[in-house]
Amino acid sequence: MAKAIGLDIGSRTIKLVEIDGSPKKFRVSRFLREEIPEDAEGAEGEGLSEALGRILKEGRGQRETTITAMSAGSTVIREIMVPFLEKDQIKKVLKFEAEAHLHNYAIEDVVVDHIKVGEVKDQSRLLIFAAPKDRLRERLAAMNANGLDPMFMNLDLAALFNAAQASGTFEEHPNCVILDIGATTTNLLFIQDGRLKSLRSLRSGSESVARGVARDLAGDPARTAPKADAPLEPLTLDEDETPEPETTPDPAVHALTVQRQDDFITRVYRETTRSLASYSADSEVSTIFVTGGACLARGTLERLRKRFGMPVMPIEFVKDGNHELGRANLEEFNAQGAVALGLALQGIGAEGIHLEFRRDDMRYTRKFDLIKVALASTVCLVFILLFLNWLNAQQNLRTRKNEMTTVLTLVHTKYVRDLKTSYHDVLKDSAARLPGDSKDEFAKFGSWQSQVNKMHKHITSELGFNVQGVPPIRSALEVWKELFNRLQGVRKEIGFLVIEDFRITQKEIYFGGLIGNRGHVDTITNEVELIPYVKTVEPGRTGIDPKSKRVKFNIRCVLAPTTAKP
């Protein structure tokens, strides 16, 4: 069973998630969280190294399958257009195109990767990410000091997207926004039709509330300000809530805190709506999802709902049955463990957005570890295919034996038992019959024999024994595999696709289900027409499914008849 560890190193905490299983059916076996000492202030120094040592010692996992990430707040993010559509062409010009947009760094001092988020005619729209090499080396040095050499170094927002995708969030809400409110940064992911449309990273998080209050009270020594690096804990106290007597805050401090909270929520709302307005979308955003430590503070979701005027909710990244976490730990995991979960999913081969910042002199050198998961999966797949082929051969052998037994029984009955009985009966009666009558009986006997011969030839011809020109039977597995490959070829183009009904016969293929919009039915129809033995393709009527609000469709493909083997 494949295992992997995702390690999310934030500005104030380190989160470790260990999972096992397959990409489609994984299980969270461990979730750990470690505070980075306050004097470290997020630097890649001694405080971070000590916190890493503690969490790795407690984790006791397979360190060679560890995936980590760079923070989006530590990278330079730009959106650019390049005059190419193919991946290979984009890779060749990526550094050259990115250099003009990096004003504070030389191109040789950063590692650049990208995400393709759209196409306009013959151009590609890219999000590029430039990570300073000095920050990467500091991060790797802190991990190497604790005996850890991560296999990959992704981007935290890409891992967050992968975790949400694996949880099925985008299947129910294909047009949404994810707000990841951390201690020092707030990240925004814009999702359209289940795919990443754009993202932003704001250099302001929940700590800005306490820091703002501290600045407001700097000239008033009589009042005690909250710690400058405190998280968004004051949101547990609403404006109209009466606190306990022993915890009653200073009214002035409380008023300033509420005002700073509102200012922070207002800024998040303003930046989100401004970004949404700059991207044209076929469908409006239906839901705002919130992750990060702010999810655990009471009052955050209510204030965001009031601002946005739409559903605002947390994401359930794991549910009962696929984790070994307690109820309290599960709530904390769903709020703070998403990035680490997305990284661990990459370690067991899950699909998603996989950036790589370990390049040049920081490249991962243990190459076998890079391919061992894929190699093990390939070996298992080959074994399964060989086993299925063996089962099919055994089934065909049993079928042929049964057919042979049937033919032999029929031949024995018609040619041995019935023929001998009729022959002897005719001989016994021939002496007592007139010559004319005897000739009639022998003529009937010859007719019977001719009929038996015709019947035997017909049966053997139908079964394909010792005859030429019998058309072969088309393999349903072959037809299914060809259709699956065609659908997989346009999967990224059409986005949402669910097959609910599927039938294969020697004459036709019929399948139907749910799809994102009616225009994608033509895309599937055109692709299926390219199957060599498909004669005609007949799309059925489409309609809106009342439950899922998706387009319901069906397609019937008439197959060309098989030809006889020479």
Q: What is the pLDDT of residue 443?
A: 60
- Residue 468 clears pLDDT 70, i.e. is over it: no
User: What band does 374 get if pLDDT is binned at 50, 70 and 90?
Assistant: low
- Residue 460 clears pLDDT 70, i.e. is over it: no
Q: What is the pLDDT of residue 565?
A: 54
* 3-state class (DSSP) for residue 499: strand
- Residue 91 clears pLDDT 70, i.e. is over it: yes
- Residue 242 clears pLDDT 50, i.e. is over it: no
pLDDT above 90 covers a percentage of the chain that reads 29
> Looking at 386-439, which runs of residues are DSSP E strands?
none
Summarize the confidence of residues 286-309 as an average pLDDT: 87
Cβ neighbours of residue 124 closer than 8 Å, sequence gap 6 or more: 81, 82, 84, 85, 90, 116, 118
Strands 186-192 and 312-313: unpaired
* Lowest model confidence (mean pLDDT) among 34-48, 276-290, 316-330, 542-556: 34-48
141-184 pLDDT, tens digit each: 888 888 888 889 999 999 999 999 998 999 999 999 999 998 88
User: Does residue 310 or residue 370 have the better pLDDT?
Assistant: 310
**Contacts by 453-458, CB closer than 8 A, 24 or more apart:** 455/414, 456/410, 456/411, 456/414, 456/415
- For the beta carbon of residue 436, count every other beta carbon within 10 angstroms: 7
Q: What is the pLDDT of residue 372?
A: 61
Rounded to whole angstroms, the Cα distance separating 540 from 538 reads 6
Q: Where are the alpha helices (DSSP H) in 217-298?
A: 251-277
* Lowest model confidence (mean pLDDT) among 357-361, 463-467, 505-509, 521-525: 463-467
User: What band does 69 get if pLDDT is binned at 50, 70 and 90?
Assistant: very high
* 3-state class (DSSP) for residue 6: strand
Q: What is the pLDDT of residue 297?
A: 78
C-alpha separations of 479 from 475, 482, 486, 557 in Å: 7, 5, 11, 11
205-233 pLDDT, tens digit each: 888 887 887 787 776 655 555 554 444 44
Rounded to whole angstroms, the Cα distance separating 7 from 19 reads 12
Q: What is the pLDDT of residue 300?
A: 84
Q: What is the pLDDT of residue 246?
A: 45
User: What band does 539 get if pLDDT is binned at 50, 70 and 90?
Assistant: very high
User: Does residue 246 or residue 515 have the better pLDDT?
Assistant: 515
Cβ neighbours of residue 6 closer than 8 Å, sequence gap 6 or more: 16, 17, 18, 19, 66, 67, 68, 159, 339, 340, 341, 342, 343, 344, 345, 346, 347
Rounded to whole angstroms, the Cα distance separating 26 from 3 reads 9
* 3-state class (DSSP) for residue 214: helix
Q: What is the pLDDT of residue 61?
A: 61
- Cα angle 29, 34, 37; round to 5: 170
User: What band does 438 get if pLDDT is binned at 50, 70 and 90?
Assistant: very low
Summarize the confidence of residues 192-208 as an average pLDDT: 87
The structure tokens listed for 302 are 């209510």
- Residue 21 clears pLDDT 70, i.e. is over it: yes
Summarize the confidence of residues 94-106 as an average pLDDT: 88
- Residue 458 clears pLDDT 70, i.e. is over it: no
Give the count of alpha carbons within 13 A of 236, CB side only. Answer: 11
Give the CA-trace dihedral at 218, 222, 226, 227, to 10 degrees. Answer: 60
Q: What is the pLDDT of residue 161?
A: 95
180-192 pLDDT, tens digit each: 998 888 999 999 9
Length of the chain: 566
- Residue 371 clears pLDDT 70, i.e. is over it: no
- Residue 338 clears pLDDT 60, i.e. is over it: yes
Region of residue 37 (phi > 0: left; psi between -120 and 50: alpha; otherwise: beta): beta
pLDDT above 70 covers a percentage of the chain that reads 80
Give the count of alpha carbons within 13 A of 400, CB side only. Answer: 8
Summarize the confidence of residues 439-444 as an average pLDDT: 56
- Assess contact for 83 and 97: CB atoms under 8 A: no
**Contacts by 304-307, CB closer than 8 A, 24 or more apart:** 304/179, 304/265, 304/268, 304/269, 307/265, 307/266, 307/269
* Lowest model confidence (mean pLDDT) among 46-50, 56-60, 359-363, 453-457: 453-457
